[in-house]
Chains A and B, each alone.
Chain A
C-alpha cells in the first residue's frame, strides 16, 4: 500500500499544527462557533446531536494492521470504545471532546492517517472497490489513480470552497463495486483501443434529495490526462455550479440544468487550455505509485483448495461462511474475505476497539497485513490463502465476527440516523436491527438470496436508500416518524434509482412490510436463481403494491 514519504508526513503534521491553533482559538473564545465551523469542517469535525463527531479518512478504504490498531486505541482512549465504519470508507468517532481532537489527529498522523477533506465543500476522500488489487475481474488497480487523485486534491488551493461537497469514486474491475454512477465524478478504468488503460468518465451522479445517475462525458481519457481532465471539470463546476441554494449546488444539478452537451463542451474547452500543462501525469509517476500497490508476495498454497473442500464437508457453518463471505482472487489459491460488521440484530458498521484489534491481528497473521473497509460497511481481508481460511474463520467465530451474510438480506447498510445525527427525521439503526432479527435465520437468508436493504434517516441519503434493492427512508410527517419503502434501486454497473411504493409506515410496521415484500418476491420468482432485483425488474412494482396496500388495489 501507499507509504508516506517525508513530504507527506510533513504535510500532515503541518495540518495538525494548523488545526491545533484553530482549536485553541476556539477554546479561548477568540473564535465563535460560527467562525470555527468552516475551519473544523475542513478537518472532518462535525457538531452532532450529543457531541462532536470526528470523521477519519481511510483513503480508498485501504489500511494495514498498525493503522487498525491505532483506530482501536483512539476509540479506547478518546471515545467510548467503538467506532463506526461508513459507506464512504471512513471511520467516525461519535464521542470525542473538542480539546482532544488535535491529539487524535496527531496520533493518526503517527500511522499516516488524517481527517483532511472528510467534510466541507471540497473534494472528499476518493472511494473505490474494496477488492481493488485482488479481484479476479480487474482491468487495473484503481488505488494507484485514487492515490494520484488524493494527492492532487489535497488542500487544492482552487477547489476548497466549491459550491458543495464533491465525491469521486473509481472502479477498476468489470463489475462496478464502487457505485461510481452515483458520485459527482465516477471513473471507470477501461482498456484503450490504442493499448494501455484509460478512464470512462461519468459526471453528475448523486443521491440526497434529488437522486441522479451520472452521465458519461468521456469514453476513454488517457492515464496521463486524468488530472487535467478532472481539473477542467472542477473548474467549470467551481465557476458555474449554483451557489444560491445548497440543495441545488451539487454538480448533478449543473449537469441537469445546463444540459449534457453544453456542459461537455465547456469541459472540453477548459481542458484544451490545460491539457498540456504540468498536470500531465508522467508514466514514471504512475509506475512509482504502482510499486506501492504491488501484490504482496503470496505464498504457494497448492494444497489449499483440496484441504478447503475437506474442511467444508466437515463444518457446515464454515462452508456457509465460505460460500457467502469469500470472493474470487486474481491468484487461484487465494480468496478475498469479507468480515461482516452486520451481526444479526447488531448496529451496521459499528466495531468495538476489541474487534478492531482482533481484525488487525488476523490481517497481520493471515492477510499479508492488508485490510480494507467496504462501502457496504464491512471489513475485507483482500488476500487470504485457501488453507488459512479455516483458522481465520475459527478466530472470527471466537470474536463474534463470523456472520456468514455478505450480500444477504441482513447485510444492511444504515446511516446513523436519529441516534446520532442532527439532521435526522427518524431512527435507522433500530429499524435495521429489527429487520435483521426478523429475517436472520441463516436458512431463511439463504433462501432469500442476494438482496440489498439500505436505510437512511432522512432525505440526505447517507444510507444509500435510493440504490437499495429495498430502500427505507425515514420521513417526518407532522411529528410522527414514518418510513417510506422504495424498490428497484441498484448501484452497480446497471445503476437505477428505486421508486417509492406508496405511503410510509410507522416504525412498528416497517418490518412486517419488508417481510411482505420479500414473501411476495419469494412467491413470484421464476426460480431460486432469479434474485430479487431481477424479479422486480421483470414484474415491476404492481404485485408489491398489492401486497402492501391491499385496500387500494381492491
Chain B
C-alpha cells in the first residue's frame, strides 16, 4: 500500500522490534525493514508462471503489449529510461523500481513524480541503487513508497531512526490531496510531527 506521504507518519521512526530484523530484510517501508519477496528476472531466463518478478523496461513493454501475465510484474526503470512508456499499462504493474546509477543522478525523482502525479499510479514505487539517506525524504515526497536498502550507511542511519527531512514544504508534490487544498499561505505545508 502506498503510504500517504508525510501524513503524520515519520518514515524514519523505527519500531524497535522490527529494526532488529536480520540483514536479509532489505526492503524498507515506513518504520521497518521487510523481507523482499521480489526477484529480478535474469534477462535470458524464461518467463515465470508465478511469483513476483522485476523485468527490464524493454522486455516488460514487449510482454505487456503482446503477452499475458502469469506472475506479479515489476518493472525496472533505469535512470535514462522513459517511465511514461508504461503509461498505458500501469494497472498491470505491481511495482516499479526507479534506479539510481549514482546518487547524483536525479532522474529517478522525475520518474517517480510522473508516476504519482501524471498517472496517479498506486502500485509500489521503489528506489533502488546508489541513493543516499539524505535523499530519502525527498524521494518519498516525489512518490517513492519503498526502498531497496543495500548500502550499509543507509541502513545504519535508518536503524538509528535518522530521517533527515525538513518538514516545511514550499512545493506540493506527490499525489497528496491535502497539499492541493491547502489554502494559505499558498502552497506551503508543514508536516505536523
Contact = CB atoms under 8 A, between A and B. Distances in A.
B is a partner of A:
yes
A164 to B, nearest CB: 10
A162 B106 contact: yes
Contact of A18 (B79, B138, B164, B188): B164
Contacts of B104: 38, 121, 161
A158 B113 contact: yes
Interface of A: 5, 7-8, 10-11, 14-15, 18, 21-22, 35, 38-39, 42, 121, 151-152, 154-162, 235, 238-239, 243, 273, 278, 281-282, 284-285, 288
Contact of A160 (B82, B106, B188): B106
A10 B137 CA distance: 17
Contacts of A238: 106-107, 109-110
B132 interface: yes
Given A151-B170, A158-B142, A7 B188 contact: yes
Contacts of A5: 185
A21 B105 contact: no
- Counting chain A CB atoms within 10 Å of each CB, which of B138, B141, B166, B167 scores highest? B166
Contact of A157 (B168, B171, B187, B188): B171
Contact of A239 (B107, B134, B153, B164): B107
Contacts of B132: 35, 38
B186 A159 contact: no
Given A38-B132, A161-B104, A7 B166 contact: no
B134 A39 contact: yes
Contacts of A285: 185-186
Interface in B176-193: 179-180, 185-188, 190
Given A157-B171, A235-B110, A14 B166 contact: yes
B166 A155 contact: yes
Nearest to A243: B105
Interface in B74-114: 79, 82, 103-107, 109-110, 113
B118 interface: yes
A151 B162 CA distance: 26
A152 B110 contact: no
A522 to B, nearest CB: 50
Nearest 7 pairs of A and B residues by beta carbon:
A161-B106, A157-B138, A11-B168, A157-B141, A285-B186, A14-B166, A158-B109
Chain A residues touching B, majority SS: helix
Nearest to B137: A157
B135 interface: yes
Contacts of A21: 162, 164
A278 B109 contact: no
28 contacts: A7-B168, A10-B168, A14-B167, A22-B134, A35-B132, A35-B153, A38-B104, A38-B134, A121-B104, A121-B106, A151-B170, A151-B188, A152-B171, A154-B170, A155-B138, A157-B138, A157-B169, A157-B173, A158-B142, A159-B109, A160-B106, A160-B135, A161-B106, A162-B106, A278-B180, A281-B186, A288-B185, A288-B186
A152 B139 CA distance: 17
B172 interface: yes
B171 A7 contact: no
Nearest to B107: A239
Interface in B104-135: 104-107, 109-110, 113, 118, 132, 134-135
Contacts of A162: 106
A22 B135 CA distance: 13
Contacts of B106: 121, 158-162, 238
A229 to B, nearest CB: 15
A278 B103 contact: no
A22 B157 CA distance: 11
B142 A157 contact: yes
Contacts of A159: 106, 109
B166 A11 contact: yes
A156 B190 contact: no
A161 B179 contact: no
Nearest to A31: B153
B34 to A, nearest CB: 24
- Counting chain B CB atoms within 10 Å of each CB, which of A8, A15, A121, A155 scores highest? A155
Nearest to B113: A158
Contacts of A160: 106, 109, 135, 138
A238 B170 CA distance: 19
